[in-house]
Amino acid sequence: MAALLAFTSAMVFGVGDFMGGLAARRLRALVVASWSQLIGLAVILLLVLVVLPSAQPTVTDLAWGAAAGIVGAVGLLLLYSALATGPMSVAAPITAVFSAVVPVVAGLALGERPEVLAAGGVVLALPAIVLIAQGEEPPGVPNRARATVRDLLPAFGAGIGFGLFFVFLQRTSGDAGLWPLVGARSVSTVGLFTLGLVTPGRMGLVKGTYRLVIACGICDAGANALYLAAVNRGLLSLVAVLAALYPASTVVLARIVLKERMRGIQLVGLGLAATAAALVAFAG
């Protein structure tokens, strides 16, 4: 069950990224992130107050959630910086892989010992993430195959931030329900809007972006809820790796909706991802 929840979380994450990416073509990325976080907060509040009112979070649970919100927001901003200043074809895989590696290392440090089949799934998932993210640069973007370490520092930072987000949520108790996400979203929403208000550029949405941003916020909140449910039922070192397969659904949607050509190497990555998910699920 944990593997299924984690893999579903990844697919929903990817859909949200696709929607947010479309909106970011017409808005500042910071605007998309801020409003989608606010919408996600509203969705999560609805869930905890109406659907899961019996949850009993502690102050520690809310503190871990707030910490997750801080590192998640920092990771998001670093990701945008990485995509803007470095080669996307290099920055995206680095971010995705590190978002998986950090929880694996943390899980092993906390004493987790996955079964052989599950460990094999993790080994396959890491190169799968890299291959899936190997999309082509959009027309008109200079081909910068070489990147300095300085160019890629934001990508490493983003991956570490997202990885810590996964780790911090895992530290919350099962009795907390989705309340840690309330803490996470509250902190990230306030932080992102504050940053948006003190930097140049408008913070409002424009016609044609409302549905995309709303869909992005709903998907992101749903993916977070699925991940939290998964990590409360399974090992961090396995669940987080499956959740990091989110580029898969983004790539597939880009192929279907935008008619972007899918490279053969990405198809190989999707195959590896499916195999990895199956191995982890079978082991669980």
Q: Are 189 and 7 in contact (CB under 8 A)?
A: no
Structure tokens at 192: 């992102």
Alpha-carbon 192 to chain mean position: 17
44 pLDDT tier (thresholds 50, 70, 90): very high
Rounded to two decimals, the pTM is 0.83
Rg (CA), the chain: 18
What value does the mean pLDDT take over residues 102-106?
Answer: 87
pLDDT at 151: 64
The reported pLDDT for the residue numbered 145 is 43
SS3 of residue 61 by DSSP:
helix
CB atoms within 10 A of CB 221: 26
What is d(CA 230, CA 239) in angstroms, rounded to the nearest whole number? 7
Question: pLDDT tens digits, residue range 189-229?
Answer: 999 999 988 988 889 988 889 999 999 999 999 999 999 99
Which of 143, 151, 30 is CA-nearest to residue 85?
Answer: 151
Four-residue CA torsion sign, 71, 77, 79, 82? negative
pLDDT tier, 142 (very low <50, low <70, confident <90, very high otherwise) = very low
- Quote the tokens at residue 20: 């947010």
The answer to whether residue 18 scores a pLDDT higher than 60 is yes
CA distances (Å), origin 40, targets 36, 189, 215: 6, 9, 9
- Residue 71 three-state SS: helix
pLDDT band of residue 149 (cuts 50, 70, 90) is low
Alpha-carbon gap, residue 186 to 85, rounded angstroms: 29
- Lowest mean pLDDT of 37-46, 107-116, 145-154, 170-179, name the range: 145-154
| The predicted structure's pLDDT at residue 186 | 94
* Region of residue 149 (left: phi > 0; alpha: psi -120 to 50; beta: else): alpha
Evaluated on CA atoms 197, 32, 24, 269, the torsion sign reads positive
Is pLDDT of 94 > 80? no
